[in-house]
Structure 1
């Protein structure tokens, strides 16, 4: 024998043929069951995490409302208190150059000469009457500085 023949290696196509590879019915069934179990566990985990997150959020929200001030302080002013706020006529010549006196910070509309504006008594911020009236129905503070507008009676 020669040395060239011993070094030559011949591949046979029969060795690489995968016709013998078969997935039988039992294997398909096992793969389907395994996939179903993984899908079921994923869905259960997703639902569990949603429930725990929503229960934490509701407990946080309920604890917030229990520690917050009474609901009477969260409401706005009554109609009589809103109507008792002073109304002035806007004069461009008398106004400062401060932006808060030149425009309503609720609607962002510029005050026109001779327009009626409401002045809050404590902080002296000015607003259109309609704008601040809508605000004060639900809030009892100034929209800019959050100073309380509520006037408590001495009784």
Structure 2
């Protein structure tokens, strides 16, 4: 009789242990999903705030200011350095008689279409990041002095 009683107790303990283990695993899965959805919501909200702040900080130049930046036709004789014969934005080589814009402060040059597109969204030189914001103000002052 002793052995059948022991088998019953052992079976009951094994069953209870299995049930507790299954409940533990299910609760871990449920808690993990709840935490994951909360962190995704927090990340989504935080990323929206970051994007809004980034959009507010990105300010391009006005078309009038961009048009005031000097332009020049490319001529291989004029550009002596090999670095000067390639647009740093599109990485394309300059071809004869293409129109380039020359940044007034730093002297970097770019395809007209490449730099105009860049300056619609940014107000700095793409290479050295010098601000070009005060170009329009300088041009207005120069025109007043003439």
Structure 2 length normalisation: TM-score? 0.68
Aligned to 1:4: none
Structure 1, residues 109-142: CA drift from partner, whole Å, max 9, x if none?
A: 0011221101111111110011001100100000
Once superposed, what is the RMSD of the aligned Cα atoms? 3.6
54-63 or 107-116: which moved more? 54-63
Give 5+ residue unaligned stretches, structure 1. 1-19
Moved more, 74-83 or 134-143: 74-83
1:80-129 Cα offsets, whole Å, 9 max, x none, are 11122111011111112241x11001111001122110111111111001
Number of equivalenced pairs: 132
Structure 2 equivalent of residue 149 of structure 1: 132
2:123 to 111, 136, 140: 140
Quick check: 1:51 aligned with 2:38? yes
Cα pair distance change 1:129/1:60, threshold 3 Å:
closer
In the alignment, structure 2 segments of 5+ residues that lack a partner are 1-5, 142-146
Residues 1:105 and 2:54 aligned together: no
Structure 2 residue aligned with 1:96, among 80, 84, 88? 80
Q: Is 1:40 the equivalent of 2:27?
A: yes
Task: Answer 1 or 2: which has greater helix percent.
Answer: 2
1:38 CA drift (Å): 2.3
SS of the residue 2:27 aligns to = helix
Match of 2:101 among 109, 118, 141: 118
How far off is 1:37 after superposition? 2.7
Larger radius of gyration: 1
